[in-house]
Structure 1
Amino acid sequence: MGDVPVGGGVLVDMPGDGQLLLVRPSEGVVKAFNPACPHQGTTVNPPTGGEITCPTHRSGFDPATGAVRSGPAPKGLTEVAVVVTRTDVVLA
């Protein structure tokens, strides 16, 4: 995650498990979310300008918690438990 700036994120492919959205909301903190928007299942975009957004109907989510901030999404993004090592981020 060292190449992901604080406030940024990246979509990663998990073999056999689909995708995860990994975000770095602050220094030393890594969060993982299921990137499917709860509204219609569209894959959300990594955070820019302090918000994760859905490209379909513009729902906005907090990158630190996944909570919905705006738009038609009925709930926030589902957090996925991960463990961060010196070189990897793995499912917990």
Structure 2
Amino acid sequence: MTSESLQPEGAPARRTVVAAVGATGFALVLGACGAGEASDDGSGGGTGGAGAAAGSGDAVLAKTSDIPEGGGKVFAAQGVVVTQPVKGRFQAFSSKCTHQGCAVNRVADGVIACPCHHSEFSATDGSVKKGPATRPLPAKDISVTGEEIRLA
């Protein structure tokens, strides 16, 4: 006689219960690992001097001299693009295109470009300059202290 045959009719098998408890615990651990990370909901600032992005560990993202005036730089590992639309003013946006989630790959002449479907965004405010994207790039918070740019 097996242990499963001793189960009341309609009750879940012991394996099912153990698997469900394990999956729930795993989900809780993963949720805790991601807690506090910045979202891409567009509510972040993005102007120089704004707070610091959660999960950045206060690491320096770049030096101000790394970001060309009128252009910018994509930081793929951090999922952010930092621009300097005018001298001394730094902006940051998600590097994930709002059309289908491809990563933008370059910034030039005031435009952030996505290679997948050729959407273009303003390096000043992340707004759509050319579709197929219809939503702007969400702003990311950065702080600029001296020569250091950090994710907020």
1:8 correspondence with 2:8: no
Structure 1: unaligned runs, 5 residues or longer: none
Alignment of 1:1-92 (within 5 A): 1-12=64-75, 18-92=78-152
Give the conservation status (yes or no) of the 8 Å contact 2:128–2:136: yes
Change (3 A) 1:59 1:13: closer
Give the conservation status (yes or no) of the 8 Å contact 2:106–2:114: no
Structure-2 separation of matches of 1:86 and 1:13 = 24
| Structure 2 letter corresponding to 1:27 | K
Structure 2: unaligned runs, 5 residues or longer: 1-63
Greater CA radius of gyration, 1 or 2?
Answer: 2
**Deviation of residue 90 (structure 1)?**
1.6
Structure-2 separation of matches of 1:30 and 1:91 = 12
Q: Which residue of 1 aligns with 2:39?
A: none
Bigger fraction of residues in strand: 1
Give the conservation status (yes or no) of the 8 Å contact 1:23–1:46: no
Structure-2 separation of matches of 1:24 and 1:44 = 16
| Structure 2 letter corresponding to 1:6 | E
- Identity, in percent, stands at 36
Structure having greater relative contact order (Cα 8 Å, sep ≥ 6): 2
TM, length-normalised to structure 1: 0.86
**Deviation of residue 6 (structure 1)?**
0.5
TM, length-normalised to structure 2: 0.54
Change (3 A) 1:10 1:39: same
Change (3 A) 1:64 1:73: same
Change (3 A) 1:85 1:65: same
Give the conservation status (yes or no) of the 8 Å contact 1:23–1:63: yes
Give the conservation status (yes or no) of the 8 Å contact 2:72–2:107: yes
Deviations 1:37-83 (A, max 9, x none): 00111111231122111101111111000000111112010000111
**Deviation of residue 5 (structure 1)?**
1.8
Bigger fraction of residues in helix: 2
